[in-house]
Amino acid sequence: MRLPTLVCALLAAPLLLSGCSLATVSGGDEIRIVADEHGDGMSFEPSEITVAPGTKVTFVVENQGSEDHEFESGQKGEAGIDELFIPAGRTRRVNWTAPSEAATFKVYCDLPGHRAAGMEITLKVAPGTDAP
């Protein structure tokens, strides 16, 4: 009876532990972001992210709120992240490669009133920064 239990535990361990570390995917390291609403406004958490120049990342944006949100920075002079629509209660991913030079960008929700309510991230590209 103990052998089947041990086999099941050994097979399940990698699945359980995989959520405990920074994952490397084809788009680079994953950076988790939570979009949410609260009594005094709206937010992305974390509100600031710093990566090294040339770093490939995958932003994993989880909408924990009851409203739809966007994640973008696609205008001229911005980070080059095209609009990503995240329905309420859903998660979406977007790959991004940091530029080779230091820079600071705003990433935001462009739905009416959301950015003004606090849905904005400062995305910094800085030399000497460890992986996300």
Say how far apart CA 130 and CA 132 lie, in whole Å: 6
pLDDT in tens, 24-60: 445 679 999 999 999 889 999 999 999 999 999 999 9
Q: Is 84 exposed, middle or buried (0-12, 13-18, 19+ CB in 10 A)?
A: middle
Say how far apart CA 13 and CA 16 lie, in whole Å: 5
Residue 7 has a pLDDT of 44
| Residue stretches of the chain with pLDDT short of 70 | 1-27, 131-132
All structural domains of the chain, each given as residue ranges with its CATH number in brackets, are: 21-125 (2.60.40.420)
Q: Which residues, at least 6 apart from 84, have a Cβ–Cβ distance to it below 8 Å?
A: 61, 70, 71, 72, 92, 94
Residue 40 has a pLDDT of 87
The beta strands (E) that lie in the chain are given as: 24-25, 28-38, 41-45, 48-51, 56-63, 69-73, 81-86, 91-97, 103-108, 120-125
Q: Which amino acid is residue 106, in one-letter code?
A: K
Locate 108 and state its tokens: 């935001």
Residue 101 has a pLDDT of 95
Task: Answer yes or no: pTM beyond 0.85.
Answer: no
Residue 131 has a pLDDT of 58
In this structure, are residues 75 and 47 in contact, taking their beta carbons and an 8 Å threshold?
no
Say how far apart CA 53 and CA 129 lie, in whole Å: 8
Residue 17 has a pLDDT of 36
